[in-house]
Structure 1
Amino acid sequence: MTSDAAPFADIRRLLTEMPGPDEEAAAAIRARDARLTKPPGALGRLEGLVEWLGTWQGKAMPSLDRPMVCVFAGSHGVVARGVSAFPAAVNRQMLENFAAGGAAINQLCAAYGLGFRVFDLAVDLPTGDICAGPALDEKGCVATMAFGMEAVAAGTDCLAVGEMGIGNTTVAAAIYAALYGGEAEHWVGRGTGLDDAGLSRKAEAVRLALQTHAGHLTDPLAILARLGGREIAAMAGAILAARLQRVPVVLDGYVTTAAAAVLHALDARALDHCIAGHLSAEGAHGEVLARLGLTPVLSLGMRLGEASGAALALGVLKGALACHRDMATFEQAGVAGKSSD
């Protein structure tokens, strides 16, 4: 991207270049599904997931040869206000745990044969405290979005997006409150396990952040820069880059959806290539998904982050595609189709 006097101009331009769905691929997938040895609709949503995958890949026979899970890690100045049960030092420690293969997401990626990348977004340098000033300036926000776009640079046929960052459920709650209104208490959850006093501090931080930035929150990109974090900005960039390259996206939980919500506020079509991997137990995730028109693939009471729910949903996608690709047709199996009377 080439920046100009208005740093967000490049992002707005890219939103105008988003490709639409491939309806021919969708029709071909539906036609094959109708010939498979099962009653029509018998695989339920699995059938629609395969159609979604191929529609956005632009393939009559979709693929999951190179599924990639990307976790974006950031650090937040607001943590100093006691909004998390864990200290900011955990950010670096968790990056080391990812590298050593010891995290939950490592096990899920190994179980389902998924590629895995971690993006360290300066976890040793917290963003600004959103209660006192902007998390990022506009140029820094756009540069971080551009860095997130590298998630699809190595090539993938489906991208799962997740995050890690102590305090980032607070900034996600602030983004939702700025986008949708309502009391801070409605949007905050217990995150990594806050007690009641911590939950109260978290809600107060969201209220103070909204007051601090009042008058500057009419533009979704300004909301992202002022209230978000590097991992949220990078995920927004990754989601947008995937759309431009016809890569379907599986979103993880509450924080990841905040990045998606910013794009949706800019253009209601911006998430057409995305599915929600799961319904998180954190905050008002279900309400946000309803606002975005996304139905979660799974609902397991999870709130771990680190793309864990998205990775599980990729496992479901793999099963759905295997059925569509490898099941016999009625003709191949010599099985009678549905009666025509």
Structure 2
Amino acid sequence: MEKNIFPEIPAIDTKVQEETRKHLNQLTKPLGSLGQLEEMVIRLAGITSQKIPDVSKKAIVVMCADHGVAGEGVSAYPQEVTGLMIQNFIRGGAAINVLARQTAAEVCVVDVGSLLIDVPEGVMNRKIRAGTANFMNMPAMEKAEALKAAETGLGVVDTLKQEGVRLLAVGEMGIGNTTAGTAIAAVFTKMPVTELTGRGTGIQEESYRHKIHVIETALHKHQPDPGNPLEVLCKVGGLEIAGMVGCIIGAAAAQIPVVIDGLISTAAALIAVKMIPGVRSYLFASHLSAEPAHSILLEELGLRPIIDAEMRLGEASGAALSFPLFDAAVALSREMATFADLGLPGPE
């Protein structure tokens, strides 16, 4: 099976989780009053096997690739924007760069399949092919290409682990990729494409209706099997989605918490979980995107978003925006006084 190229996923450390839960209950506050922040710390403790988790060193992987389906006019922007944004990431001028600087997070830009001929210095050039095929007509990529992109993601995370990264966000750039993400969502949820499709980069009504038609046509033509996640990825996915699948699985194997972004990275996360169910315990949903399919995919994964800011940018921007909340949650656990510190009895 396809899984055997991937490492084993360790079980969550439930003993440390319980120790952290008991510690939080002894802090000078009403039980559970810090809400999701408490649950974040407890989950982080189970992932890292640390009672007070260390998430100080952070990284953001932005997987970049082009999509043949962009030729169908499913985006408000021309396909060249993918390459221009790759250059923008390296210059530090994109939203993700600004947000990353707020928490001193490293931004790792990986080209697994853009149309760029001259990949800028500073980009990890792991190009597998120059864009996927137009999946309205044929499968987006071959199985070997999807697996190579996933292996690229595994390799990127291995490097980051050696650098001491303790919290990872995954995001993407690729004109046309909300079409791919929506198609993946339709396969796994079996919901009508009309209920899942959003306007992506802001397309107008005619293009929006055409986007729905493109996805419906592709699904009817290729009949991707929801029981075979690799097949779904190959038929209607993208190289950057495959790269994120590898990143997510690699991070889980390394006991690094994974913060997913919007629709596209959540589609990658769902594929990763369908391949290896144990991955799910390592995932955090950073925010709720304005894309309608996103909330459906989060429900499918059983994840609650930390932030709802109506964002739909991609680039791991929502994931980066959530980083300060991870820092705050850990700081509260580490620095708050306990009832015992005040000479008071704690909760039973």
**TM-score strictly above 0.5:** yes
Counterpart residue identity of residue 328, structure 1? A
- 1:18–1:243: 8 Å Cα contact kept in structure 2? yes
Instruction: Select between 135-144 and 259-268 the one with higher mean Cα deviation.
Output: 259-268
Aligned counterpart in structure 2 of residue 24 of structure 1, from 15, 36, 42 = 15
Counterpart residue identity of residue 71, structure 2? A
TM-score, normalised relative to structure 1: 0.92
d(CA) in 1 for partners of 2:249 and 2:3? 14
Q: Which residue of 1 aligns with 2:286?
A: 277
Q: Which residue of 2 aligns with 1:68?
A: 59
Q: Which residue of 1 aligns with 2:146?
A: 141
Please list the CA deviations of residues 135-169 of structure 1 after superposition, one character each: whole Å capped at 9, or x if unmatched: 11011110100001123222221111111111000
Q: Which residue of 1 aligns with 2:124?
A: none
Aligned counterpart in structure 1 of residue 33 of structure 2, from 37, 42, 57 = 42
Q: Tell me how many residue pairs correspond in the alignment.
A: 330
**Is 1:103 paired with 2:101?**
no
Aligned-partner SS, 2:280: coil
- Consecutive unaligned residues of structure 2, counting only runs of 5 or more, are 116-129
**Is 1:225 paired with 2:219?**
no
**Is 1:196 paired with 2:205?**
yes
Q: Which residue of 1 aligns with 2:340?
A: 331
- 1:35–1:329: 8 Å Cα contact kept in structure 2? yes
Aligned-partner SS, 1:20: coil
Aligned counterpart in structure 1 of residue 170 of structure 2, from 138, 161, 164 = 161
d(CA) in 2 for partners of 1:217 and 1:251? 21
Please list the CA deviations of residues 39-82 of structure 1 after superposition, one character each: whole Å capped at 9, or x if unmatched: 22121111110111111011122001211111111100000000
Aligned counterpart in structure 2 of residue 260 of structure 1, from 269, 277, 301 = 269
Aligned counterpart in structure 2 of residue 299 of structure 1, from 308, 314, 332 = 308
d(CA) in 2 for partners of 1:122 and 1:285? 24
**Is 1:93 paired with 2:78?**
no
The alpha carbon displacement at 1:113 in A equals 2.1
Counterpart residue identity of residue 118, structure 1? V
The alpha carbon displacement at 1:328 in A equals 2.1
Counterpart residue identity of residue 98, structure 1? F
Please list the CA deviations of residues 226-282 of structure 1 after superposition, one character each: whole Å capped at 9, or x if unmatched: 110011001111111111111111110001111111123334433111011011001
When residues 290 and 215 of structure 1 are mapped into structure 2, their CA distance, relative to the original with a 3 A threshold, is closer
Counterpart residue identity of residue 14, structure 2? E
Aligned-partner SS, 1:134: coil
Question: Kindly, what percent of the aligned residue pairs are identical?
Answer: 36
d(CA) in 2 for partners of 1:276 and 1:87? 29
d(CA) in 1 for partners of 2:293 and 2:203? 16
Instruction: Select between 211-220 and 37-46 the one with higher mean Cα deviation.
Output: 211-220
**Is 1:246 paired with 2:237?**
no
- 1:37–1:335: 8 Å Cα contact kept in structure 2? no
- Consecutive unaligned residues of structure 1, counting only runs of 5 or more, are 1-5
The alpha carbon displacement at 1:222 in A equals 0.4
Please list the CA deviations of residues 83-127 of structure 1 after superposition, one character each: whole Å capped at 9, or x if unmatched: 000011000100111111111111111112222111111211111
Instruction: Select between 293-302 and 255-264 the one with higher mean Cα deviation.
Output: 255-264
